[in-house]
A and B are shown apart, each in its own frame.
Chain A
Amino acid sequence: MTHQLFDCRDAYSQELEALAAADPRIVAVVNDSVSSTKLKSFRSKFPDRFVNVGIAEQNMVGVGAGLALGNMLPYVCGASCFLTARANEQVKVDLGYTNSNVKLCGMSSGMAYGELGPTHHSIEDFAFTRVIPNLAVVAPADAIETRALMRYSAQHVGPMFLRISRVPVRNVMPEDFVFTLGKAHTLRKGNDITLMANGILVERALDAADILSSFGIDARVLNMSSVKPIDREAILDAARTTRGIVTVEEHSVYGGLGGAVAEIVAQEHPTRIKILGIPGVFAPTGSSDFLLEHFNLTATGIAEAAQQLLATSRTVA
């Protein structure tokens, strides 16, 4: 079966325009990255609410905070690798600590810029942002969720990091989906094992569940787009009612979704857990697809990891 694939940046930029048309507080701030953030149309429609600070991420985040403190609603958009790493102290202090109402849109996250090499990969951004108090961290799974998330973000008062990929994915979320911060979304019910994924890997987790089904394994699939706050109840329910958890993210295995899930499981209901991601190395060069396959972040790779986990897991009473 073939599916239509969507670049989530289109959903984000179109929704931002719709929001800006209705809310005069909304302003877009970019670091030269007008085309890679897909904001050319926004710029032409709202030239007075478009701020290009040039190639200057520290200033960009500070300007965002200043706009928010001046009662505007800034969406600060740039490649996630520079936004979260170059400006990390500004994200910590000017956004998190100040609790300023800034929406940080980290584009082309993960290994979307695969060929460009580790300088342009952003496989550390969950870790950089998740540890900062007040800052919500969300990685939508598809275009539908991206739109829903954008609508939510304009209502949410406080800083958010929205991690938006450029890798085309199919829609997996229901058309009428309404985003709720801190809630996992169950995409598939199942009681043998739980696959928890976010971002562009949710579709692969669903495909992995199909593979597992052919082996008679009934996998639950949760979209864990909200990395912080995270759905503690959904995690504990998975720990209690299934025989193990496999987390799947386009991120280092350190400090991301897997880490967040493990922190809860280890302290509140220990169970078997396998964290899939990039195993603490700088990724080699190659296309996004190549790199995902290189690190076994494929439907087959996820299914195999789930089967291994079940093979070594103890029976849950």
Chain B
Amino acid sequence: MYLFRNSDHRSLLATIKSDRRSLGICPDFIAVDNAPGLSYLQPIQTLCVRSVPALGILLPASSIAPAALPHWLHQQANRVRISALRMVHHAGIGHTGGDMSSADILTTLYLAILNVDPTEPNAPARDRFIMSKGHCSGAFYSVLAARGFFPTSMLDTYMDPLSKLNGHPDRNKLPGVEANTGPLGHGLPIAVGNALASRMSGLNFRTFVLTGDGELQEGSNWEACMCAAHYGLDDLTVIVDRNRIQQGDFTEKTIRMDPLAEKFRAFGFATEEIDGHDHAALLARFRTLPIEAGKPSCLIANTIKGKGISFAENKPEWHHGVPNADQLAAAIAELSVILADATEVRA
């Protein structure tokens, strides 16, 4: 990690290039103070995208010009997708489809919305994010690394023997993980407890929880929904990754979930549907929560399982399909298109 204050982009670029030559490394993460804009950092970004298989450069979203932020988030989300795909390919197991469908939501939250600090991951007043769909750990871990909670090099150990990166997240192994999830229907009750604690402690932090849609077939979610509404927990936001596919089939062919928004409304949530891949829409909505004072919020994020990979999109078999080497290369090529539109600058 490089930290440049009042940064001079020429010296930053020179340092990174020198390290690449002499050490063969490139930064996981660069924190930049007082960045005047995106443009002068793009050479570094481009350099690192081409040289680092993992995440490349990530900046505080505050350093990005507001108009450029959605596009930048899209780029980062695709880096997360590429990272997750590499991890699943490496491990030979994983949940590709949900990693892809949730990447934009996760990236937007962690890079632009959540009040979290990797240097103080247990700060009492931090926002809480609960990854209830813990099986989508490829995307989740990649975003946590991107946010700086741990080195991106750890992503290479995904599901290796004794790795801290279990198939499902463990807060006692990795900073930034708030709850141990994996069995479905656990995250929402925990999030309700978080939101109650926020109120009781007076710390008034926000709580976000991302659930799958098939996951909502677990009854514990609806117990938690009744509780959240009864206590009027408007600091709580449930985001549903509505990709309409579960392990065995489409949700609507398995156990019908629609009308899902109506269900949440009936359970006392202020509920909206949103395009879970539209970064501008996600940003705007996340920035103006709650939807309605006195009620918990529910965002049903309509997503595409396998989003960004033409041959995996909306295919139940890619729920936990593992890309082979050719598929990995093809997917990365598709996902990298948006990354290449930064101005190429040659030394």
* Interfacial chain B residues near A56, Cβ < 8 Å: 220, 223-224, 226-227
Nearest chain B CB to A21 CB, angstrom units: 15
Among B128, B182, B205, B223, the most chain A Cβ lie within 10 Å of the Cβ of: B223
Chain A residues with CB below 8 A from B171, complex form? 98
Instruction: Check A58–B219 contact: CB distance below 8 A.
Output: yes
User: B224 contacts which of A59, A93, A98 (Cβ < 8 Å)?
Assistant: A59
B198 touching A62, Cβ below 8 Å: no
B183 on the interface (CB 8 Å rule)? yes
Q: A71-B201, A72-B201 are in contact. Are A62 and B220 (CB under 8 A)?
A: yes
Contacts of B179 in A (CB 8 A): 65-66, 69, 94, 98
A187 within 8 A of B: no
Determine how close the nearest CB of chain A comes to the CB of B204; give it in whole angstroms: 11
Q: Are A49 and B192 in contact (CB under 8 A)?
A: no
In the complex the two chains form, what is the Cα distance from A60 to B224 in whole Å?
8
Contact with A along B209-238 (1 / 0, CB 8 A): 000000000011001101100110000000
* B193 on the A face (CB < 8 A): yes
Instruction: Determine if B180 is an interface residue (Cβ-Cβ < 8 Å).
Output: yes
Is A65 a contact partner of B200 (Cβ separation < 8 A)?
A: no
Output the least CB separation between A221 and chain B (Å): 39
Q: Is the CB of B182 within 8 A of A68?
A: no
Q: Is A99 an interface residue (CB 8 A)?
A: yes
Residues of A within 8 A of B231 (CB): 51
| CA–CA, A70 and B172, complex, Å | 15
Compute how far the CA of A83 lies from the CA of B232 in the bound complex, rounded to whole angstroms: 25
Number of A-B contacts (CB under 8 A): 115
Query: Which residue of B has the minimal Cβ distance to A25?
Result: B201
Chain B 243-259, CB within 8 Å of chain A: the 1/0 string? 00000000000000000
CB of A54 within 8 Å of the partner chain: yes
Prevailing SS type, chain A contact patch = helix
Q: What is the CB-to-nearest-CB distance from B294 to chain A, in angstroms, rounded to a whole number? A: 17
- Shortest A217–chain B CB gap in Å is 49
Asked whether B197 is an interface residue with its Cβ less than 8 Å from the other chain, the reply is: yes
Known contacts A62-B189, A63-B224, A94-B190; A69/B200 CB under 8 A: no
A69 to B181, CA, bound (A): 14
B168-206 vs A, CB cutoff 8 Å, 1 = contact: the mask equals: 001110000011111101101111111111101101010
Nearest-Cβ distance from residue A65 to partner chain B, whole angstroms: 5
A256 contacts partner chain B, Cβ-Cβ < 8 Å: no
Of B170, B193, B197, B231, most A-chain CB atoms within 10 Å: B193
Given contacts A58-B223, A97-B180, contact A70 B201 (CB under 8 A): yes
Given contacts A69-B178, A71-B124, contact A62 B226 (CB under 8 A): no
Chain B residue nearest in CB terms to A64:
B193
Q: Closest Cβ of chain B: how far from A206's Cβ, in Å?
A: 41
Q: What are 14 A-B pairs at a CB distance below 8 A? A: A48-B200, A49-B200, A53-B223, A59-B223, A62-B220, A66-B192, A69-B128, A70-B128, A71-B203, A72-B196, A89-B183, A89-B186, A93-B183, A94-B186
Give A contacts to B, CB under 8 Å: 25, 27, 48-49, 51, 53-54, 56, 58-72, 74, 89-90, 93-94, 97-99
Other contacts beyond A72-B197, A89-B186, A97-B180: 7, CB < 8 A: A51-B231, A54-B227, A66-B191, A69-B179, A70-B205, A90-B220, A94-B189
